[in-house]
């Protein structure tokens, strides 16, 4: 401990240390806000430029686009690492600094209070000693006055014996009181000297030592926070490096030849380049006879007409640098080149097949519901389903006709390409894709018995609990009691019935409104019959 440090200086230095600690905490807080805003802006940027996957046609196909979207994904991961840095700084540095600053303030206040109490106690001891000293001084003066009075009366011949005796008693009393005050003053002085020695050699050095240790701990804590501040950044450097490596790999994955080939495959027309223009000989009429000229003229006019027709057709195919023919898009895509038309027809056939599948499922559900209503009239009127069933059948017929029409168009497109544009007699590499036959018609079974002829039992996709009892007298239904738990092997397809199974293997249909269904997640047991 260095002597001579005044209390106000230690008070000022410790306060400065706490202020500096809080200032650094404020710096860390602002850095955290910068990291959070930076990460947020990066995520917004990635979201802004990410593709909107609204349709399959808009998915990135070119390697340059795929590389850019991979870079966006890596940038999004990079933004996540900036958020990790901010969280680590907030938890490990800023939070620790604020907690430690609060503890420092409490400890500093306690040490300063101890110093003030020690100083107040020393001041009290000094006042007691000073009071005893003044009282002893006063009693000594009174004793001197009493002694002078006694000596004056004792030398006075006119003084009576009683007066001399009284003055002597007064002198003895003052002398006794002076001795007592002297002893009191000596005791207070000894006590003050002891307390003063203890104050300056024990109490105050101990308080200064505690303040010094507190300040040293503050310095150590700052050093730890400086290290933690850097470690928060250093921990994410490997992951950030991987993000940057991913961006470099995405840049290397760009293949300009592949992109060019995709453009060619997407927009090639299938037309062959136009042939050479024929030579038109206008000098023949000079040497021909009149009869020959008549015949030749008709032939020449015919040749001219064919040439113009050929030129016109050739000009119609040159769309690259000329104007593309205007007109509304036709349903059979006959306005497109053969290759593009074939692709569009195939896409259209796939879409119609999916719609046909949905209508077929709906028809099956309506037939099941109709059978249930016929066997259980109390559950509904079978005639009420007839309009919906007729509408579904009309939709199925319409879809089949459209599929057939598009398949015929695809067949003619393939044959046209095979006959006129394919040098090897096959338009595509896969000969099986050239001619597609009509879709296979699946037979529909509407009876419940047909559903139970499978050799292997269907897997359970969930379970249910009966809310109400069900008798199940009709064929294909399953009776159940209230509170009974069953396995679900087929969901309700819109007909109001769910297929269930008991633990003993007995299966059947139960009303969906009579049970509380719980399906298993990631279940692959659901089976749809067509």
Q: What is the DSSP letter of 88?
A: H
How would residue 476 be classed by pLDDT, with cut points 50, 70 and 90? confident
Mean pLDDT of 487-512: 88
Mean pLDDT of 437-447: 37
Q: How far is CA 401 from the centre of its chain?
A: 48
How would residue 316 be classed by pLDDT, with cut points 50, 70 and 90? very low
Between 361 and 529, the more confident residue is 361
* pLDDT number for residue 428: 41
* pLDDT number for residue 466: 92
pLDDT at 422 > cutoff 80: no
Per-residue burial over 279-310, b = 16 or more CB atoms within 10 Å of its CB, e = otherwise: eeeeeeeeeeeeeeeeebeeebeeeeeeeeee
* pLDDT number for residue 443: 37
In this structure, of 99-108, 336-345, 416-425, 459-468, the range with the lowest mean pLDDT score is: 416-425
* pLDDT number for residue 7: 58
Between 273 and 84, the more confident residue is 84
Residue percentage of the chain with pLDDT more than 90 = 41
- Encode pLDDT of 162-187 as tens digits: 888 888 898 899 899 999 999 999 99
Q: By CB neighbour count within 10 A (0-12 exposed, 13-18 middle, 19+ buried), where does 455 fall?
A: exposed
Query: Contact at 8 Å (CB) between 225 and 24?
Result: yes
How would residue 220 be classed by pLDDT, with cut points 50, 70 and 90? very high
Mean pLDDT of 394-401: 89
Q: What is the DSSP letter of 489?
A: E
Between 529 and 52, the more confident residue is 52
- Encode pLDDT of 140-160 as tens digits: 999 999 889 888 888 887 878
pLDDT at 287 > cutoff 90: no
Between 452 and 472, the more confident residue is 472
How would residue 284 be classed by pLDDT, with cut points 50, 70 and 90? low
In this structure, of 143-147, 193-197, 372-376, 513-517, the range with the lowest mean pLDDT score is: 372-376
Element (H, E) at 214: helix 204-235
* pLDDT number for residue 285: 59
Query: Contact at 8 Å (CB) between 359 and 402?
Result: no
pLDDT at 338 > cutoff 90: no
Between 50 and 434, the more confident residue is 50
Evaluate if pTM is beyond 0.95: no
pLDDT at 460 > cutoff 50: yes
* pLDDT number for residue 449: 42
* pLDDT number for residue 9: 62
pLDDT at 529 > cutoff 80: no
pLDDT at 126 > cutoff 90: yes
Between 138 and 302, the more confident residue is 138
Between 324 and 254, the more confident residue is 254
Element (H, E) at 499: strand 497-501
What sign does the dihedral 479-485-486-490 (CA atoms) show? positive
CA atoms within 13 A on the CB side of 229: 17
pLDDT at 233 > cutoff 70: yes
Between 307 and 155, the more confident residue is 155
CA atoms within 13 A on the CB side of 498: 27
Mean pLDDT of 454-476: 81
How would residue 98 be classed by pLDDT, with cut points 50, 70 and 90? very high
Per-chain mean pLDDT for the chain: 79
* pLDDT number for residue 293: 46
How would residue 323 be classed by pLDDT, with cut points 50, 70 and 90? very low
Query: Contact at 8 Å (CB) between 462 and 470?
Result: no
Mean pLDDT of 299-318: 42
In this structure, how many other beta carbons lie within 10 angstroms of the beta carbon of residue 193?
A: 12
Between 259 and 157, the more confident residue is 259
pLDDT at 400 > cutoff 70: yes
- Which residues are within 8 A (CB) of 53 and not within 5 positions of it... i.e. 6 or more apart? 59
Highest mean pLDDT range out of 30-44, 132-146, 372-386?
Answer: 30-44
CA atoms within 13 A on the CB side of 265: 10
- SS percent in the chain: helix, strand, coil, step 5: 70, 5, 25
Rounded to whole angstroms, how far apart are CA atoms 5 and 12?
Answer: 11
Rounded to whole angstroms, how far apart are CA atoms 24 and 26?
Answer: 5
């Amino acid at each position: 401990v260095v002597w001579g440090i005044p209390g106000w200086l230690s008070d000022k230095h410790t306060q400065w240390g706490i202020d500096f600690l809080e200032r650094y905490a404020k710096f860390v807080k602002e850095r955290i806000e910068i990291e959070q805003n930076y990460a947020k802006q990066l995520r917004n940027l990635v979201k802004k430029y990410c593709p909107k996957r609204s349709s399959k046609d808009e998915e990135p196909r070119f390697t340059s686009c795929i590389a850019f979207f991979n870079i966006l994904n890596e940038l999004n991961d990079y933004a996540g690492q900036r958020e990790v840095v901010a969280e680590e700084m907030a938890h490990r540095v800023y939070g620790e600094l604020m907690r430690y600053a609060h503890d420092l303030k409490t400890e500093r206040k306690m040490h300063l209070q101890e110093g003030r109490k020690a100083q107040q106690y020393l001041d009290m001891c000094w006042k007691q000693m000073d009071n005893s000293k003044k009282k002893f001084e006063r009693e000594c003066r009174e004793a001197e006055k009493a002694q002078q009075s006694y000596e004056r009366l004792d030398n006075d011949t006119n003084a009576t014996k009683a007066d001399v005796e009284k003055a002597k008693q007064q002198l003895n009393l003052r002398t006794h009181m002076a001795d007592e005050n002297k002893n009191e003053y000596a005791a207070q002085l000894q006590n003050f000297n002891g307390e003063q020695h203890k104050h300056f050699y024990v109490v105050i050095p101990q308080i200064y030592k505690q303040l010094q240790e507190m300040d040293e701990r503050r310095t150590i804590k700052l050093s730890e926070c400086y290290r933690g501040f850097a470690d928060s950044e250093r921990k994410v450097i490997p992951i950030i490096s991987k993000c940057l490596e991913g961006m470099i790999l995405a840049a290397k994955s760009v293949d300009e030849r592949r992109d060019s080939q995709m453009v060619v495959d997407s927009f090639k027309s299938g037309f062959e380049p136009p042939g050479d223009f024929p030579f038109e000989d206008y000098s023949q009429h000079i040497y021909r006879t009149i009869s020959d000229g008549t015949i030749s003229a008709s032939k020449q006019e015919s040749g001219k007409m064919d040439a113009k027709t050929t030129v016109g057709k050739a000009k119609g195919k040159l769309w690259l640098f000329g104007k593309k023919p205007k007109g509304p898009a036709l349903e059979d895509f006959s306005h497109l080149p053969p290759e593009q038309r074939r692709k569009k027809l195939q896409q259209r056939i796939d879409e119609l097949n999916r719609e046909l599948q949905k209508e077929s499922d709906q028809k099956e559900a309506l037939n099941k519901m109709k059978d249930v209503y016929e066997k259980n009239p109390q559950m509904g009127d079978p005639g009420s389903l007839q309009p919906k069933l007729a509408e579904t059948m009309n939709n199925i017929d319409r879809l089949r006709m459209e599929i057939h029409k598009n398949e015929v168009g695809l067949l003619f497109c393939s044959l046209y390409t095979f006959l006129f544009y394919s040098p090897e007699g096959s338009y595509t590499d896969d000969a099986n894709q050239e001619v597609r036959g009509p879709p296979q018609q699946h037979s529909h079974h509407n009876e419940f018995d047909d559903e139970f002829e499978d050799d292997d039992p269907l897997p359970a996709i969930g379970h249910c609990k009966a809310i109400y009892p069900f008798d199940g007298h009709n064929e294909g239904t399953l009776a159940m009691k209230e509170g009974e738990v069953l396995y679900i092997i087929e969901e309700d397809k819109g007909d109001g019935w769910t297929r269930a199974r008991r633990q003993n293997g007995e299966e059947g249909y139960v009303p969906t409104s009579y049970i509380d269904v719980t399906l298993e997640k990631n279940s692959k047991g659901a089976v749809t019959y067509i």
